[in-house]
Amino acid sequence: MKYEDSTYEKLVGILDSYYNQVEELKEACSRLNKLKEECCHLADNFKLLLDSTDEGIYGLDADGLCTMFNRSAAKMTKYEPEEVIGKDIHRLIHHTRIDGTPCPSDKCPIIKAIKDGEGCRVDNAIFWRKDGTFFPVEYSSYPMMEEGNVKGAVVTFNDITIRKEMENELLDSKKLAELYVDLMGHDINNMNQAAIGFLEIAIEKLRSEIGPDDVALLMKACDMMKESSHIIENVRKLQSIEEGGYRNKRIDIGEILSEIVEQYSSIPDRHIKIKYKPEDEYSVMANELARDMFGNIIGNSVKHSKGLLNIDIRVKRVYEKERGYYEVIIEDDGPGIRDDIKARLFQRHTLPKGGLGLYLVRKLAESYDGSVRVEDRIEGDYKKGSRFIILLPALD
């Protein structure tokens, strides 16, 4: 059969078209294979990433069935991934609460993240192992969204056994410390007060029979007992501050300062001049321990000095960051405080001798939303005395 030239040309064109389509299909298949390899590579990297973290991670579909279970999750629960994937994982590891009551899936925060589309974080739960034991966990569950629809959830969790043990140890230590403070504050302090009473009676009875040096020794012992009682009282106050045992109210610190000035202006065998003139009412939010805050500073000035001591107290209104404060300045011309001591004067763990009272001062100032600091009365020469500055928020 003889074909027309035009027909032949059409057949050749059709064959060329088929050939080109075949080549395009081959190229498309090649691209698909490369894309598949890349997807597999990404999947391997993603699995490696999930298996490299210490956190347990598993995925859930919209029905709450497990879709992914990483190596850390398997290690903590003793389940292999193939044992949980495709299963209702809630029934396997989260079926019972820490108090032993059942945890139905409709009450489970993890499942609620799927139903409600809202994430959650829980820090006091338990997960169950394959062998029937459990361990404390904190976990988070967040929904996976696609075009506004919940497609499942991702759950991450950590075994917090060590943290719980440490928390329990700290709680036990706190209870023991509170017991010691109670013992000091009651039994030991009562014995101290009794001993002080006996010493004072003995001093009065023996004063005419023994020499002044012996009287001084007995007085020194009595003073040490009083200081011991004072320290115990400060410890009790610090404990109460930490526990919020004092409620703040409106008080006038001017009245408190006037009472303290009167107390320290008439100490036997000491020449103390205190300059203080209240000019207004200085109202702040504080409590009855505010007296200890100012009393400790002035008392230390007296205790650590000899002979004539001049103390100057001033109160003025200042502003910091658009907030009003009363600035209480207490200056003395005593022996002063070295710079290396200033840096640790109000710290708890590096207290200088007799410094517990000043730590109490700092804690009180901070509890009133204020602050305290110390500097030289004469800048650059600590031997010329000290200046304490207390800032307390002012009430209008």
Please name every residue paired with 100 in a beta bridge, in sequence order, or none if there are none: none
Output the pLDDT for position 138.
Answer: 94
At 79, phi and psi to the nearest 5? -95, 140
- pLDDT computed for residue 181 by the predictor: 65
* Closest by CA position to 267, among listed 233, 298, 228: 298
Map tokens 């000491």 to a residue.
Answer: 270
Could you report the per-residue pLDDT of 149-207, keeping only the tens digit for each? 889 999 999 999 988 888 888 887 777 776 666 666 666 767 777 778 888 888 888 88
- What's the confidence (pLDDT) of residue 47? 63
Question: Could you give the CA distance from residue 153 to residue 90 in angstroms, rounded to a whole number?
Answer: 13
Query: In the beta sheet, which residues pair with residue 386?
Result: 332, 376
Give the model's pLDDT for residue 370: 93
What per-residue string of b and e applies to 270-292 under the rule 16 or more CB within 10 Å gives b?
Answer: eebebebeeeeebbbbbbebbbb
Angle between helices 290-303 and 356-367 (to 10 degrees): 150
Which helix H or strand E contains 93, and what residues bound it? helix 89-93
* SS3 at position 386: strand
- The rounded distance, in Å, linking the Cα atoms of 54 and 208 is 79
Provide the β-strand partners of residue 330: 313, 388
Give the pLDDT score at 140: 93
DSSP letter for each residue of 243-309 = TT-S--EEEEHHHHHHHHHHHHTT-TT--EEEE----S--EEEE-TTHHHHHHHHHHHHHHT--S-E
396 vs 391: CA distance, rounded Å = 15
| pTM, full prediction | 0.51
Which regions of the chain are under pLDDT 50? 1, 352, 354
What angle, rounded to 10 degrees, do the helices at 253-264 and 290-303 form? 30
Sign of CA dihedral 161, 167, 173, 178: negative
